[in-house]
Structure 1
Amino acid sequence: MPDQLPYADMSAVFSRFRDSEPEPKGELDHVNAYTLLVAVALSAQATDKGVNRATADLFPIADTPQKMLALGEEGLIAHIKTIGLYRNKARNVIRMAEILVNDYGGEVPSSRAALESLPGVGRKTANVVLNMWWGMPAQAVDTHIFRLGNRSGIAVGRDVVAVERAIEDNVPAEFQRHAHHWMILHGRYICKARKPVCANCIISDLCRFEEKTL
């Protein structure tokens, strides 16, 4: 595991990310806070593209917790059965909708603790919603960020919580809001698990990964 990059290198890394993509966007389709929450919950152990295909017909008819309850669990399953673990996810989405209607007036809460109390919502999902919808500098660490952070020295940690803390502690404040999006996209398309595309990497000279590909 490499050492954590020093502040000057961290600033250079994220300056390059920002120059390359000033306003990075998540790749899950959504129309409001609720559909974003559902999409992120559905994306566990699934691809964003697969979720987007499933929700293309779902969200036009179920874009609020009330409409999702009216659709029902079996109706939801009909839309998401191409997604892994669809039965368990459908059960969680319906239970989540019930709680949102009964306890939050049908609105998605803007508190991490409240979000994490919902069925099927963990820390990563909560952080994605807080970041993407409310613009909070929350860091959602997925497999791409965990890999990139540890390979490169951007955010070194033995588990996702440690990597999240490393991002919060070491990424300069001006880059905090978009940090996890830049890292996800770089990990997904450049710093891949099996064959990283180091030749196309804009931070290769700063990265601490010893097994760079030519």
Structure 2
Amino acid sequence: MAIETSRFFTYDDTKNQDIFYRLPDHWWSRHYEYIWASHFVKKDDIVLDAACGLGHPFKYYLADKCREVYACDMDERLLDTNEIIKELEYYLGKEHIDQINLPTLSIPKFAVSDISNLPYDDGKFDVVFCISVMEHIEDTEVQLRSLQEFKRVLKDHGKLIITVDYPDVHVEGFLSLIAASGLQLVGDHDFTKPVNAITSDYYGRDLWCIRFVLEKISV
């Protein structure tokens, strides 16, 4: 099935637990999400990792794969490299911090920002990534404003690569928000949950993970 197909992740998909560092075992979907999302980056691209998290590694993994990496999050500690290192020590243990190529931590261009009000110019990015974020936003109006902001900062035909946890995000409602935002699905899609969909009950309830490839509709 094509890499552009929007659907549930399955256990047949490529998995990689080493993404800049060894990902924790309980980050069940990230082992699949990051490696899939990285297929959409080209060397000359300017990209954004939206709501990137403090110690999450995708923004650093992208550092040598494109021209410029921007990353934003509401956590003000993002602007303090020492705080990022503390977070990485929490995930890895101080004894394993030597896994990290520390100079890479200064490559992304960071901003403290809500994704529903991004501090970037119109049409700046070739690709925007938003990995497992929307399930943490309960207000659908904020979800819609965030999608509209992603559209605004994308170049014409730029792509939004987004993943969500299901059923915290319902497919039908999210597709309605996508349509209202001026974004559209790219390529094929099938949102039937297959028997081999990756799943976890680590957080006390059954979760699955869905990927979407979206494109800015040019006018």
Is TM-score (shorter-chain normalized) higher than 0.5? no
Which has the bigger relative contact order, CA under 8 A and spacing at least 6? 2
Higher helix share: 1
> Looking at CA atoms only, which structure, 1 or 2, has the larger radius of gyration?
1
TM-score by length of 1: 0.26
Higher strand share: 2
